[in-house]
Amino acid sequence: MPGMSKNGEGSLGWLRERNRERVLGTLRERGRISQADIARVTGLSRTTVHTLVAELKDSGLVHEVDTGEHEIRGGRPAVQLMLRDSSLTAVGIDFGHSHVQVAVADIAHNVLAERRCDLNVSRDARTALDTATRMVDEVLGEAHVDRKSVIAVGMGIPGPVDRGRGTAGSPSILPGWTGLRIESEMQQRLGMPVEIENDANLGALAEMTWGAGRECSNFAYIKASTGIGAGLVVDGRLLRGASGTAGEIGHTTLDESGALCYCGNRGCLETVASGPAIIGLVSSGHPETLTLAQVIELAMDGDARCRRAISDAGREIGVAVAGLCNLINPERVIVGGLLSRAGELLLQPIRESIRRHAVFAAAERGEVVAASFVERAELLGSLALALQASDKRTH
C-alpha cells in the first residue's frame, strides 16, 4: 500500500483509531447527529459506528439526546448523539461588502449570541477588522463565554481567498484588503486561532451543517447574488482545490464574444446572470436604478420584465451548473444567495438547463432546491468552519 509506514499505519489499531477520530470529527462538525447519519457521512459500516459510539459513550465523551421529534418512518424517538464537553465554543465572523456579523456557538452547535453592524467593509480593511474585534468581545460578554473556551474563529470574506497565504485572492473584488495578511492580523487582535474562507464555501458549510445539505455527502451550493460562486462538497468534505479558489463558477465562459467581464475575460456567467447584470437589464425601463432586492420583489409581484430577467439568469446559471453536474455528479444542487429569494422563478429554469445540458445520469440524479439560509448563510458557515478547524487542531 503506498504511504504505508512502519509506525503501524495501515494496521488494525491504526485503522480503529482513525475511524474513532472520524466519528469524533463528524460529531464536532454536525453538533447533533444520529448513529445512522454518522455511518452515512463517514462511509463506515453501521456495525463499526455502533461499536465506536458504544466505546465513546462508555468513556463519557459522547452522550445521547432525545430530540423530542419522531422519525417519519417507524415512529421511534429520534435519538441523536452529541459531544459531552459543551463548555468549548467557536466564534464566527462574516464580512459582507457592507456589513459585519459576529456570532458565538457552543460545540453542540447552539448559537449563543450574535450581532450585526452596517459598515463599508470593502474600502477599509483595518477598520473592519477593528470593528469585528470589538463585536467578538461583545458577543462573548453577552453569552458569558470565557475567551479561553474559544477553540477557533472562522472568518468569511466576500471574495476569493488564498488560504495558503491567509489573504484575499483577488485585488479587484476587495480593493481595501489587497496585500493584507487577514488571518494573522485577526489572530493578533483576538489572541485566538483564525481561519478564513470565501462566502460561497461558507454557504456550503452552513447548508451541510444546519440546512439543505445535512443529508448529503455530495452537493453543490450555488450562491447567486451580486456575484455568482459555488461551494462544492464532495464525499462530505469541502472541495478547495490547490489554492482554495475551487468553485469560481461565475467566471465560466458562456460566450467567447460576449460582454467584457471585470475579471478581464469575455462572456463570463457573471456578465449575464449576476445581480448587476440583472439590474442593468431591467433598469433601462425604470426611472431610478433598482436594487437586486427590489427587482426580486417586483418579479414576485408579477412585473413581466423582472420575471423574464430572473428566469433568463436562471437559465444561464443552469448551463454552468450542468457542467458542474457532469464533473462532480452531486446528489443535490442547493441554490442560495439573495437571488434565491425568487424561488421557483429562478430554480425552474436552472432545472431545465441542467436537463438540457448535463449528461442524463448526472441530470436525473441531482435535484435542485432552495438554500435554507440566505442572510445568515455566511455567518453560520463561519461558525461551522471554526468547529471544523478545532477538529483538525485537537487531532
Q: In terms of CB distance, is 99 or 223 closer to Zn ion?
A: 223
Q: Which of 53, 91, 232, 261 binds Zn ion (CB under 5 A)?
A: 261
Cβ burial, residue 192 (10 Å; 0-12/13-18/19+): middle
Number of residues forming the site for Zn ion (CB under 5 A): 5
Q: How many CA atoms lie less than 13 Å away from 71 in the CB half-sphere?
A: 11
Min dist CB 320 to Zn ion, Å, is 12
Please report whether residue 351 would count as binding Zn ion according to CB under 5 A.
Answer: no
Q: Is 266 in the site for Zn ion (CB under 5 A)?
A: no
Give me the amino acid identity at 289. Answer: T
At its nearest, how many Å lie between Zn ion and the CB of residue 257?
14
In whole angstroms, how close is the CB of 33 to Zn ion at the nearest point? 39
What contacts 193, CB < 8 A, 6 or more positions away?
A: 151, 152, 153, 187, 389, 393
HSE, side-chain direction, 13 A CA sphere, residue 291: 4
Instruction: Tell me the HSE value of 64 on the side-chain side, using a 13 A CA sphere.
Output: 12
Nearer to Zn ion, 193 or 280 (CB): 280
Q: Rounded to the nearest whole angstrom, what is the least distance from the CB of residue 204 to Zn ion in the complex?
A: 21
254 binds Zn ion (CB under 5 A): no
Name the grid cell of 260. Answer: 467584457
Helix (H) or strand (E) holding 339: none
Alpha-carbon distance of 143 to 145, in angstroms, equals: 5
163 part of the interface to Zn ion, by CB under 5 A: no
CB 115 within 8 A of CB 139: yes
350 binds Zn ion (CB under 5 A): no
Stretch that binds Zn ion, among 60-68, 114-122, 254-262, 288-296 (CB under 5 A): 254-262
Rounded-to-integer distance, Cα 76 and Cα 109, Å = 24
**Per CB under 5 A, which region of 54-62, 136-144, 214-222, 247-255 contacts Zn ion?**
247-255
Length of the chain: 395
The C-alpha angle with vertex 155 and arms to 41 and 191, in degrees rounded to 5, equals 115
Does position 249 interact with Zn ion (CB under 5 A)? The reply is no
Q: Check binding of 263 to Zn ion (CB under 5 A).
A: yes
x/- contact string, 77-116, with Zn ion (CB under 5 A)?
Answer: ----------------------------------------
Q: Which stretch binds Zn ion (CB under 5 A): 2-10, 16-24, 103-111, 259-267?
A: 259-267
Binding residue for Zn ion, selected from 22, 40, 163, 251, defined by CB under 5 A: 251
Q: How many Å is the Cα radius of gyration of the chain?
A: 22
In terms of phi and psi (left: phi > 0; alpha: psi -120 to 50; beta: otherwise), the region of 107 is alpha
Binding segment for Zn ion (CB under 5 A), chosen from 129-137, 246-254, 333-341, 366-374, is 246-254
Q: Which of 27, 88, 100, 268 binds Zn ion (CB under 5 A)?
A: 268
Interface ranges with Zn ion (CB under 5 A) = 251, 261, 263, 265, 268
